[in-house]
Amino acid sequence: NAGVTQTPKFQVLKTGQSMTLQCAQDMNHEYMSWYRQDPGMGLRLIHYSVGAGITDQGEVPNGYNVSRSTTEDFPLRLLSAAPSQTSVYFCASSILAGAYNEQFFGPGTRLTVL
């Protein structure tokens, strides 16, 4: 199993550009989520999904869209990139939704918005 994969690893955008960060898992996990990690801030939840076709907002959803058309994939879309979205983005999954399950993290995407 590849686990949780993320592409690209690095990305530079100009303000106003849009892009999609890709996340895929091959573990048949029900729950998937996106976090951003900023220095001194820890990880903050952006959006999450408890199954195909079901998504919900986390702590910092503004400026981001998600969809979950399949169990495996959970892309994160930046609609109009802003410098404040410069961060490292992590995708995570767990076998089931709910609070008692460990999360498996991808390697991250480092995004810079100029």
Partner 1 sequence: SQQGEEDPQALSIQEGENATMNCSYKTSINNLQWYRQNSGRGLVHLILIRSNEREKHSGRLRVTLDTSKKSSSLLITASRAADTASYFCATARGGNQFYFGTGTSLTVIP
* Nearest distance, CB of residue 90 and partner 1, angstroms: 6
Please work out the total of residues on this chain that contact partner 1, with binding judged by CB under 8 A: 28
Shorter beta-carbon distance to partner 1: residue 48 or 85: 48
Q: Does 26 bind partner 1 (CB under 8 A)?
A: no
Q: Which residue among 1, 2, 14, 99 contacts partner 1 (CB under 8 A)?
A: 99
CB 109 within 8 A of CB 58: no
* Nearest distance, CB of residue 42 and partner 1, angstroms: 4
